[in-house]
């Protein structure tokens, strides 16, 4: 017999996807690259602007799935707390970078994001190895984004 207080896995997945993707979409829509960003000197390895939306869409799906998986098996775990912390850093970066134009603070935030992603991977792998693995592309992309952020500081 199902416990009526325990949400069904499909509902949990939908809620986590809505939170990660919806939050990302909202943050992305209010903090878009503008003329200020276009005027910055970019490093030679800067990807084209059109690449960011599809990459982040895939990443937010993976982030949502990973969060839902951990929530299902260990909702009060350190991994779950770190999942929420990384979302906070994730959602803070774009407004600091694209709206406030504070590159140095954005670098601090993205490095904190990267640290929380790596901490999630370490904590989650003992709870749900698949959830930890889902964060690997995210860790790689945020590592690259950190390098971009630091390069923009150096060049501007």
42-85 pLDDT, tens digit per residue, is 999 999 999 999 999 999 999 999 999 999 999 999 999 999 99
| CB burial of residue 134 (10 Å; 0-12, 13-18, 19+) | buried
pLDDT of residue 6: 65
- Chain center to CA of 106: 14
Residue 42: left (phi > 0), alpha (psi -120 to 50), or beta?
Answer: beta
Q: Which two tokens stand for residue 52?
A: 């960011």
From residue 154, alpha-carbon distances to 78, 106, 150 in Å are 36, 14, 6
Query: What is the token pair recorded at 99?
Result: 């709206």
Name the residue among 149, 45, 145, 141 with its Cα closest to residue 103: 149
Q: How many CB atoms are located within 10 Å of the residue 126 CB?
A: 12
User: How many of the other CB atoms lie within 10 Å of CB of 64?
Assistant: 26
- 1 confidence band (pLDDT: 50, 70, 90): very low
Give tens-digit pLDDT for 83-102.
999 999 999 999 999 999 99
The tokens of 140 are what?
């790689």
Q: Angle at CA 53, nearest 5°, toward 48 and 58?
A: 120
The tokens 């939306």 sit on which residue? 53
When pLDDT is averaged across residues 8-15 and rounded to a whole number, the result is: 95
Instruction: Work out the mean pLDDT of the chain and round it to a whole number.
Output: 95
pLDDT value, residue 105? 98
Q: What band does 7 get if pLDDT is binned at 50, 70 and 90?
A: confident
User: In the chain, what are the domains?
Assistant: 9-155 (1.20.1260.100)
Whether the pLDDT of residue 144 is over 70: the answer is yes
Is the Cβ–Cβ distance between 79 and 106 less than 8 Å?
A: no
Calculated CA dihedral for residues 79, 80, 82, 87, nearest 10 degrees: 140
């Amino acid at each position: 017999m199902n416990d009526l207080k325990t949400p069904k896995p499909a509902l949990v997945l939908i809620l986590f996807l809505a939170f990660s993707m919806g939050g990302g979409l909202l943050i992305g829509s209010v903090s878009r690259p503008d003329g200020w960003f276009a005027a910055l000197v970019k490093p030679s390895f800067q990807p084209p602007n059109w690449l960011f939306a599809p990459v982040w869409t895939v990443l937010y799906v993976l982030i949502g799935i990973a969060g839902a998986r951990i929530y299902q098996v260990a909702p009060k775990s350190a991994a779950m707390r770190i999942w929420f912390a990384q979302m906070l850093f994730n959602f803070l970066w774009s407004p600091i970078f694209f709206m406030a134009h504070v590159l140095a603070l954005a670098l601090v935030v993205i490095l904190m994001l990267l640290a929380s992603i790596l901490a999630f991977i370490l904590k989650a792998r003992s709870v749900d190895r698949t959830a930890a693995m889902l964060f690997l592309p995210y860790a790689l992309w945020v590592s690259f984004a950190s390098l971009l952020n630091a390069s923009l500081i150096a060049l501007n």
